[in-house]
């Protein structure tokens, strides 16, 4: 099968196409593109085991065919779910070329050390900005209206329906949605907002999905996403969320949602950000109240009661979430006008360098994490976030699943103050079915006491 792009967004120069077929980095880019493309083509098949997907489609291939007027993709042995009447579903085709656009741009431009200094804070932030700019997801003339929604891909039907209801009330208030682009709490708000937008007769609304190569196979883009962006790694993906978003709504989730929360709290606790207006709401149906009680207790243990000033918990009131976020984003608009910060990218937010640099998950790096209370809030937030990042890697990412199969579970060494709370929280995630979509969960980690 051969597939061609349509429109301007996915147009690539012949130099861009050469990057996937020649040069020192072409094999790495080709392998990366193949994995991300397979994930996109697998949209709709419910599995969060990346290794299983790649094993099931080991004979899948996708090649860039250069044409004088552009390019085509030659695809063999793709998942049949990507086709209708032997034609590729249009949304999947668009996502496929968005992946190609970002993989080539990152591989040829962002990773060029002469263009971007990815060892510096400013250089990393600029790289995130340029990727989002290249993907055309920012609207310079638009008033603040983008709500980032975080939450788990493995949630109950009741929680999913509630996330749709929240999305509906956000959409009625003319707010757009940005999520991690996958299923569950990443899909529900978009689906609900689509109905709210339709009732308001809105056009050109944005459903932004931000992902990264390590997670896309476990969380392929849902059909509502109309702006898909691939960031190079989880750290740049997280920065993209908070730079793009004007408010954040957090639904129940597992280790990945905890990682996002810890990243956000670590940044908002930084004294440099005490005047930054970024409203945060934790919400879920009545049945999810215990989840937020546990999360609130864990955050207070880590950072003290002051952390609770950074978020509002709203249980079982989707309309109030819509009202609250709408009011708060109007405040963001006033604040951006006062400070002169851009509406479309939060330049004034200070992101500590340790939050920006990629954490390479291995058994050794996980064992070396400093999960102790004897450090600053900023340092503890970084260490705790990396611990949950390791759990995500071991649960769903291809390389992580294979590492666990070969070497056994990761060891999370925590001091006496944290070991019980961390173990309890992760066990609660597993007991509530938040660690994986199907089957009995086998932990990819062990929480052990750190020796004095």
Structure confidence at residue 9 (pLDDT): 42
pTM above 0.85, yes or no: yes
- What residue has token string 């260490």? 383
2-115: CATH number: 3.30.1850.10
Structure confidence at residue 243 (pLDDT): 97
pLDDT digits (tens, 9 = 90+) for 302-346: 999 999 999 999 999 999 999 999 999 999 999 999 999 999 999
134-339: CATH number: 3.40.50.450
Partners of 371 in the β-ladder: 414
Mean pLDDT, all residues of the chain: 88
Reference 1, options 84, 79, 87; nearest CA is: 87
pLDDT range class, residue 44, cuts 50, 70, 90: low
Boundaries of every domain in the chain: 2-115, 134-339, 353-449
User: CA distances (Å), 50 to each of 38, 152, 397, in order?
Assistant: 10, 16, 6
Question: Looking at beta carbons, which pairs linking 65-74 to residues 24 or more positions away fall under 8 Å?
Answer: 65/2, 66/14, 66/17, 66/18, 66/21, 70/4, 70/5, 70/11, 70/12, 71/4, 71/5, 71/12, 71/17, 72/2, 72/3, 72/4, 73/2, 73/3, 73/4, 73/37, 73/97, 73/100, 74/1, 74/2
Helix, strand, coil in percent for the chain, rounding step 5: 50, 15, 35
User: If you average pLDDT over residues 418-438, what whole number do you get?
Assistant: 85
pLDDT > 70: what percent of the chain?
Answer: 90
pLDDT digits (tens, 9 = 90+) for 368-407: 999 999 899 989 999 999 999 999 998 878 888 899 999 9
pLDDT digits (tens, 9 = 90+) for 132-159: 999 999 988 899 999 999 998 888 999 9
- Do the domains 2-115 and 134-339 sit in the same CATH topology, yes or no? no
Vertex 355: Cα angle to 351 and 356 (nearest 5): 80
Structure confidence at residue 70 (pLDDT): 61
- What residue has token string 């003319």? 174
Give dist(CA 215, CA 39) in Å, integer.
9
């Amino acid at each position: 099968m051969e597939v061609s792009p349509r429109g301007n967004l996915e147009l690539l120069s012949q130099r861009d196409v050469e990057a996937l077929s020649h040069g020192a980095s072409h094999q790495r880019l080709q392998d990366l593109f193949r994995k991300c493309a397979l994930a996109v083509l697998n949209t709709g098949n419910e599995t969060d085991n990346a290794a299983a997907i790649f094993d099931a489609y080991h004979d899948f291939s996708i090649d860039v065919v250069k044409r004088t007027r552009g390019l085509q993709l030659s695809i063999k042995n793709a998942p049949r779910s990507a086709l209708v009447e032997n034609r590729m579903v249009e949304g999947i085709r668009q996502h496929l070329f968005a992946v190609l656009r970002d993989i080539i741009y990152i591989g040829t431009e962002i990773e060029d050390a002469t263009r971007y200094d990815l060892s510096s804070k400013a250089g990393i932030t600029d790289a995130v900005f340029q990727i989002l700019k290249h993907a055309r997801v920012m609207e310079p003339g638009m008033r603040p209206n983008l709500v980032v929604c975080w939450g788990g891909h493995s949630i109950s039907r009741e929680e999913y329906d509630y996330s749709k209801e929240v999305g509906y009330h956000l959409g009625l208030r003319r707010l757009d949605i940005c999520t991690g682009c996958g299923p569950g709490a990443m899909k529900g708000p978009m689906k609900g907002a689509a109905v709210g937008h339709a009732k308001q007769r809105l056009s050109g609304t944005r459903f932004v999905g931000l992902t990264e190569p390590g997670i896309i196979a476990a969380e392929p883009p849902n059909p509502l996403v109309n702006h898909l962006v691939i960031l190079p790694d989880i750290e740049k993906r997280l920065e993209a969320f908070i730079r793009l978003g004007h408010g954040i709504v957090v639904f129940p989730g597992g280790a990945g949602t905890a990682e996002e929360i810890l990243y956000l709290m670590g940044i908002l606790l930084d004294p440099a950000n005490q005047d930054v207006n970024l409203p945060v709401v934790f919400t879920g149906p009545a049945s999810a109240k215990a989840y937020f009680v546990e999360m609130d207790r864990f955050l207070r243990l880590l950072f003290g009661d002051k952390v609770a000033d950074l978020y509002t918990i709203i249980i079982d009131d989707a309309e109030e979430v819509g009202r609250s976020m709408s009011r708060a984003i109007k405040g963001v608009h006033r604040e951006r006008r006062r400070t002169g910060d851009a509406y479309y990218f939060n330049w004034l937010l200070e992101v500590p360098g340790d939050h920006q640099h990629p954490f390479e998950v291995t058994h050794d790096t996980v064992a070396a994490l400093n999960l102790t209370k004897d450090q600053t809030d900023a340092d503890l937030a970084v260490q705790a976030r990396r611990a949950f990042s390791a759990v995500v890697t071991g649960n769903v990412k291809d390389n992580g699943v294979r590492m666990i199969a070969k070497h056994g579970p990761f060891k999370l060494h925590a001091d006496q103050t944290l070991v019980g709370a961390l173990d309890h929280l992760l066990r609660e995630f597993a007991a509530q079915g938040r660690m994986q979509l199907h089957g009995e969960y086998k932990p990819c980690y062990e929480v052990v006491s750190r020796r004095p």
